[in-house]
Amino acid sequence: MQKKDPPILVTRPSMPPVEEYEALVREIFSSRYLTNGGALHLRLETALKEKLATPHLRLFTNGHLALECAIAALHLEPGEIITTPFTFISTTHAIVRCGFTPVFCDVEPDFFTLDATKLEERITPRTRAILPVHVYGNPCDMDAIEEIASRHNLPVLYDAAHAFGVTLHGRAVADFGTASMFSFHATKCYHTIEGGAVATGDAAYAELLNGYKNFGFHADDEIREVGGNAKMNEFQAAMGLLNLRYFDREIERRAHVAARYRENLAGIAGLRFRPVREGASQNHAYMPVSFNPFVFGANRDQVSDALKAHGIFARKYFYPLTSEAACYAGRFDPAETPIAREASQSVLTLPMYADLARSDVDDICEIVAGCRK
Ligand SMILES: Cc1ncc(COP(=O)(O)O)c(C=O)c1O
């Protein structure tokens, strides 16, 4: 098989028709309103409230700053936030950058989301909040987490960066917890180039988010919070409006890619597709596959290297665990979260995007299957 040129990356952003983007850019140019809550920003906020089935939603320049603002707006006393280490580093950094101590809870072996059966033992008198992650768009066991949180009077802030459009038993993920953060980064199945949002059912909390994302301003002369600058601009909002128009088609096309992977790699001993929680819808944001080297005959890194040699760049999402990142050396003990550690050593996320050609999926699968000893 020939080396892929151009290479195949783990993802590729879907682009709306350029003429439609051009038309919105013309609107921006004629309004000369570029940021600070322009007309397109307002339209996108309204449309996303409906799409995500949430009463209040605030847009941000990216998901990470959305998460930092969401934590700040909880107005917590200093202390600990319980989260998981099997996530993108942003989740842990946001907690630390807001001045809290992350306390890592292990994940469920099937879904890699925070294990509610291990949550209560991590709660201490210094626990201030719980920050679970809907990993790969697979929703957490939200009922179990929230039952524990409410007994301990703790807010639950979901990192829903991967979970755009996902529902659990027909209920939108944004409808759970105190709030949910979504990332609209270009690598996500719904994007605004860079971007993010916080959804919440709490009107007063949503009002606080306005301040945190805009230097604390609530009116011209009224600066209530020590806020930063995390506003979404009009060019991002334009991309978001168009991608929303095509979102259902995006998911449909991703579902075809996912089905082809499953068909090609079905029944290979030691290779496992990640199961989906019962009642959860799927957005096919990622294509994670786990390898058991003792059964499969090659480990995750060997499969990754074999793909790389053919110009195909899968990603080790999420390796290392956030608790193992060099910047946190010596602070956390990854042995306390053995399931997460095992996951981080065995999962490879294969290329996944709407227009990934069927023949490329077939080639990827052939290389993966060929790694078997
Ligand atoms: C789980 C998770 N949390 C937070 C973020 C941060 O989002 P952003 O890249 O939009 O800042 C990302 C993604 O990139 C993510 O995957």
List the domain boundaries for the chain.
18-245, 246-370
CA distances 100 to 80, 82, 158, 313, Å, are 6, 10, 16, 35
Q: Is 185 in the pocket of ligand 1 (CB under 6 A)?
A: yes
Ligand 1 within 6 A of 176 CB? no
Integer angstrom CA distances of residue 135 from 82, 93, 132, 170, 224: 16, 17, 9, 19, 34
Query: Distance from the CA of 123 to the center of ligand 1, in angstroms?
Result: 25
Q: How far is the CA of 32 from the centre of ligand 1 (A)?
A: 30
Which atom of ligand 1 is nearest the CA belonging to 94?
4
Could you tell me if the CB of 161 is within 6 A of ligand 1? yes
Which pLDDT score, from 0 to 100, does residue 373 have? 76
Ligand 1 atom with least separation from CA of 87? 1
Classify burial at 335, counting beta carbons within 10 Å of its beta carbon; exposed 0-12, middle 13-18, buried 19 or more. Answer: exposed
Q: Measured from the CB, is residue 63 less than 6 Å from ligand 1?
A: yes
* Listed residue (161, 128, 127, 158) closest to 141, CA to CA: 158
Q: Do 87 and 340 contact (CB within 8 A), yes or no?
A: no
Going residue by residue through the chain, which has 373 residues, state the pLDDT in tens, using 9 for 90 and above.
899 999 999 999 999 999 999 999 999 999 999 999 999 999 999 999 999 999 999 999 999 999 999 999 999 999 999 999 999 999 999 999 999 999 999 999 999 999 999 999 999 999 999 999 999 999 999 999 999 999 999 999 999 999 999 999 999 999 999 999 999 999 999 999 999 999 999 999 999 999 999 999 999 999 999 999 999 999 999 999 999 999 999 999 999 999 999 999 999 999 999 999 999 999 999 999 999 999 999 999 999 999 999 999 999 999 999 999 999 999 999 999 999 999 999 999 999 999 999 999 999 999 999 999 7
> 88, 162, 189, 317: which to mutate for ligand 1, most atoms within 8 A of CB?
88
CATH top-level class of 246-370: alpha beta
Q: Is the dihedral of CA 282, 285, 287, 292 positive or negative?
A: negative
Distances (CA, A) of 245 to 103, 248, 274, 355: 40, 8, 29, 17
Question: What spacing in Å lies between the alpha carbon of 143 and ligand 1's midpoint?
Answer: 24
CA 212 / ligand 1 centre spacing (Å): 18
Which tokens is 294 given?
């003792």
Identify the pLDDT of residue 39: 98
Task: Report residue 87: phi and psi, to 5°.
Answer: -160, 175
CB atoms inside a 10 Å sphere around CB 249: 11
131's CB contacts (< 8 A; 6+ apart) are 71, 81, 82, 83, 91, 95, 156, 157, 158, 159
Measured from the CB, is residue 91 less than 6 Å from ligand 1? yes
How many angstroms separate the alpha carbon of residue 281 from the centre of ligand 1?
Answer: 20
Strands 167-168 and 271-273, how do they pair?
unpaired
Q: Considering only CA atoms, which of 345, 348, 344 is closest in space to residue 313?
A: 348
Q: Is the pTM of this model over 0.85?
A: yes
Indicate the CATH number of 18-245 among 3.40.640.10, 3.40.50.300, 3.40.1280.10, 3.30.43.10: 3.40.640.10
CB distance 108 to 141 below 8 Å: yes
63 CA → ligand 1 middle, Å: 5
Measured from the CB, is residue 341 less than 6 Å from ligand 1?
no
